[in-house]
Amino acid sequence: MIRRQNWCACRFLISWAYKPRRQPVKYQVSRAVGDHIRDYFVYGLLYLPLENGQSEIDLRRKEAGTMTKINVIAMTEEVREITAEELNYRQTLLGGKFGGTCYAREGYATIRTQPDEKALKRAERTAASGHHSVFQHGMVNMEFACPKMIAMLLNSIGVSNTSEKSARYTMMEPETEREKLLYEKWHDKLSERIAALYGGRFTEREVDKLAYENARYMISVFCETSMVYSLPFRNLFYVLDWVRKMRGSLSLMDGGFNRRLERELGFLEQAFLSVVGKESFHDNKQEYFRFLPVQATGEYDDDNREYYGDVYTAKFLASFAQVAQEQRHRTTRVKINFSGKQPGEFGYFVPPIIEKTPLEAEWLSDIESVGEVYPQGMLVSVTEQGLFEDFVLKCKERMCGRAQLEIMRVTEQMVRKFLLHRDNLSAANRRRLEMITEGETPCARCGYSDFICTESCAWGKKEALKRLV
């Protein structure tokens, strides 16, 4: 504690030292004097030069270092029931409190002493001014039951998080009798084919799951799925705006896919309103669902040129099922282009295990017969864009014998294209490319020098990229 007489002397000398002068040089000198006086009386530090030219205060500051402190001030908690009004109130209050830290002298401790009314008024002013980021701190965790296509649309939002029912490892519920018949038919046929080729490699239960994983290409992209889905409070209102914008665009379009999507978006809008109650603010940057540019804007956005370098643009055809996997990589941008008018605009996916066999023609005939429900095996035009270092992270997920075969093969082809265009990569990225390849060949992730696989696998590094299922 500084003694009173020393503190009084300190205040006088500092005020004198910092007092503006007519001549800037004198003022600058006096500021330096003021700094020295303050440090001596307040911190007990002297500016006596040492042998190495440093002063005592330099050494003291270096020894002390910079301290990082963390205080937990909020967290997500499970709730049994909550009304839209209460959720809106709590999240608005939280945003108002967090927004106050920008001007709080003592950090969040100051905010805790303020009445809630002050935080709510601050939240109202902040929302009206368009500074919505303070409302992104609070997350809203929701359980959804919705069509797969709606889940894909929501999962395309980069700031979201999802834990979704697996169509690979659980049975789905087809909407129509025809879909159900084909789902079971192809489960049986694929089970026989998998057992014939790889019977000694998989258990009966594993064969069953792999067969259902491939049979689901026959069922609609609008079949029901479920998920736990999280969005920042702010983005709930943005998504509402994007839903309405897309509905308006779809209302002017023909085609079974577009009409069905418009109807489902109407249900989504009502569901979101039941969660948030009143609409506190709106998207002020005129964004939209970039994932579906045709349906969102009425125009194709498919004239990007392929490029492989430190930044990349990849273009390929893939099924709805593959895209649902593709878009889960938050560090990449994925969009799909198709009219939504004519089923099979780009054709249909055929599981590699039945390609070039008598079953291929039967598969195509069956999947075309349910084209009007837009099966998950329908192909669409996909554009993926991102940074190469983020693509490497994707490889550490998808270049694996346990990954969905379709997305693994697409990723493998992209690695080959990066190898062909390695001169477009920086030195650091060329080193990264070497880490995910062996010579001129893509490598499964279990062969990466900086990756340790902890999952059981029936394939191993040598066979992971050669499998047919």
- How confident is the model over 126-142, as a mean pLDDT? 91
Amino acid making up residue 434 = E
Residue 199: which pLDDT band, with cuts at 50, 70 and 90? confident
Task: Assess whether 261 and 382 both reside in one domain.
Answer: no
Single residue among 137, 167, 198 that ends a domain in this structure: 137
Task: Assess whether 53 and 97 both reside in one domain.
Answer: no
Q: For residue 51, what pLDDT is reported?
A: 52
CB contact set of 272 (below 8 Å; sequence gap of 6+): 236, 239, 240, 243
Task: Assess whether 322 and 283 both reside in one domain.
Answer: no
Residue 384 backbone dihedrals phi, psi, to 5 degrees: -120, 135
CB contact set of 40 (below 8 Å; sequence gap of 6+): 46
Q: Which of 20-24, 194-198, 419-423 has the lowest mean pLDDT?
A: 20-24
Residue 166: which pLDDT band, with cuts at 50, 70 and 90? confident
Q: For residue 109, what pLDDT is reported?
A: 87
Task: Assess whether 314 and 454 both reside in one domain.
Answer: yes
Q: Which of 306-315, 353-362, 406-415, 456-465 has the lowest mean pLDDT?
A: 456-465
Q: For residue 7, what pLDDT is reported?
A: 46
Residue 457: which pLDDT band, with cuts at 50, 70 and 90? confident
Q: Judge whether 341 and 255 are in contact, CB under 8 Å.
A: yes
Q: Distance between CA atoms of 260 and 257, rounded to whole angstroms?
A: 5
Q: For residue 29, what pLDDT is reported?
A: 42
Residue 167: which pLDDT band, with cuts at 50, 70 and 90? confident
pLDDT, tens digit, 9 for 90 and up, residues 200-240: 899 999 999 999 999 999 999 999 999 999 999 999 999 99
Task: Assess whether 58 and 151 both reside in one domain.
Answer: no
Task: Assess whether 152 and 279 both reside in one domain.
Answer: yes
Given a cut of 90, is residue 10 above it in pLDDT?
no
Given a cut of 90, is residue 69 above it in pLDDT?
no
Q: Is residue 385 part of a domain?
A: yes
Q: Is residue 248 part of a domain?
A: yes
Task: Assess whether 35 and 99 both reside in one domain.
Answer: no
Amino acid making up residue 46 = L
Q: Is residue 395 part of a domain?
A: yes
Q: For residue 4, what pLDDT is reported?
A: 46
What's the Rg (C-alpha) of the chain? 30
Q: Are strands 224-232 and 311-319 parallel, antiparallel or unpaired?
A: unpaired
pLDDT, tens digit, 9 for 90 and up, residues 414-423: 999 999 999 9
Task: Assess whether 60 and 111 both reside in one domain.
Answer: no
Task: Assess whether 146 and 60 both reside in one domain.
Answer: no
Given a cut of 90, is residue 121 above it in pLDDT?
yes
Task: Assess whether 323 and 452 both reside in one domain.
Answer: yes
Given a cut of 70, is residue 91 above it in pLDDT?
yes
Q: Judge whether 375 and 218 are in contact, CB under 8 Å.
A: yes
Given a cut of 70, is residue 243 above it in pLDDT?
yes
Residue 81: which pLDDT band, with cuts at 50, 70 and 90? very high
Task: Assess whether 389 and 421 both reside in one domain.
Answer: yes
Q: For residue 60, what pLDDT is reported?
A: 60
Q: Is residue 409 part of a domain?
A: yes
Q: Distance between CA atoms of 130 and 127, rounded to whole angstroms?
A: 5
Q: Distance between CA atoms of 368 and 340, rounded to whole angstroms?
A: 15
Q: Is residue 448 part of a domain?
A: yes
pLDDT, tens digit, 9 for 90 and up, residues 25-65: 433 444 444 454 444 444 444 444 445 555 555 556 566 66
Q: Is residue 382 part of a domain?
A: yes
Q: For residue 65, what pLDDT is reported?
A: 66
User: 405-420 and 388-398 helices cross at what angle (nearest 10)?
Assistant: 140
CA 426 to chain centre: 26
Q: For residue 44, what pLDDT is reported?
A: 47
Which residues span the domain enclosing 402?
Answer: 307-343+378-463
Q: Is residue 191 part of a domain?
A: no
Residue 1: which pLDDT band, with cuts at 50, 70 and 90? very low
Given a cut of 70, is residue 19 above it in pLDDT?
no
CATH code assigned at 440: 3.30.1360.170
Q: Is residue 281 part of a domain?
A: yes
CB contact set of 64 (below 8 Å; sequence gap of 6+): none
Residue 102: which pLDDT band, with cuts at 50, 70 and 90? confident
pLDDT, tens digit, 9 for 90 and up, residues 338-392: 999 999 999 999 999 999 999 999 999 999 999 999 999 999 999 999 999 999 9
Given a cut of 50, is residue 17 above it in pLDDT?
no
- How confident is the model over 393-422, as a mean pLDDT? 97
What is the percent of the chain with per-residue pLDDT over 90, rounded to a whole number?
71
Angle at 412 between CA 406 and CA 418, to 5 degrees: 140
C-alpha to C-alpha distances, 115 to 107, 133, 258, 270, nearest whole angstrom: 16, 22, 49, 34
Q: For residue 64, what pLDDT is reported?
A: 61
Task: Assess whether 158 and 35 both reside in one domain.
Answer: no
How many domains are contained in the chain?
Answer: 4
Q: Which of 11-25, 102-116, 143-157, 271-285 has the lowest mean pLDDT?
A: 11-25
Residue among 451, 155, 147 at smallest CA distance from 332: 155
